[in-house]
Amino acid sequence: MFSELLSVLFPLRCIHCGRGGEWLCPECAALLRPSGPPFCCRCGRPSLSRTADCPECRGRELHFKTARAAYYFEGPARSLVHRLKYSGQRRLASYMAEIACNQAGLTSPDKAVTLTYVPLHSAKLLNRGYNQAGLFARALSRRLDLPVQDLLCKQNPTLAQNRLGFEERRQNLEGSITLRRGASLESGQSGRLVLVDDVYTTGSTVSECARVLTEELGAEVEVWTFARTAKR
Question: Could you tell me the residue ranges of all domains in the chain?
Answer: 34-52+62-159+167-228
Mean pLDDT across the chain, nearest whole number? 85
According to the model, what pLDDT value does residue 228 have? Answer: 95
For residues 13-17, average pLDDT: 92
Between 132 and 108, residue with greater pLDDT: 132
For the whole model, what pTM was predicted? 0.87
Smallest CA-to-CA distance from 141 within 133, 129, 153, 131 is with: 133
Q: Does domain 34-52+62-159+167-228 have CATH number 3.40.50?
A: yes
In tens, the pLDDT along 150-186 reads: 999 998 766 565 565 655 655 666 678 999 998 888 7
- Residue 104 scores a pLDDT above 80: no
Of the given ranges (30-39, 134-143, 154-163, 193-202), which has the lowest mean pLDDT?
154-163
Going by pLDDT thresholds of 50, 70 and 90, the confidence category of residue 126 is confident
How high is the pLDDT of residue 200?
A: 95
Predicted local distance difference test score (pLDDT) of residue 206: 95
**pLDDT computed for residue 49 by the predictor:** 61
pLDDT tens track for 42-100: 888 887 765 557 888 888 889 999 999 999 999 999 999 999 999 989 999 999 999 99
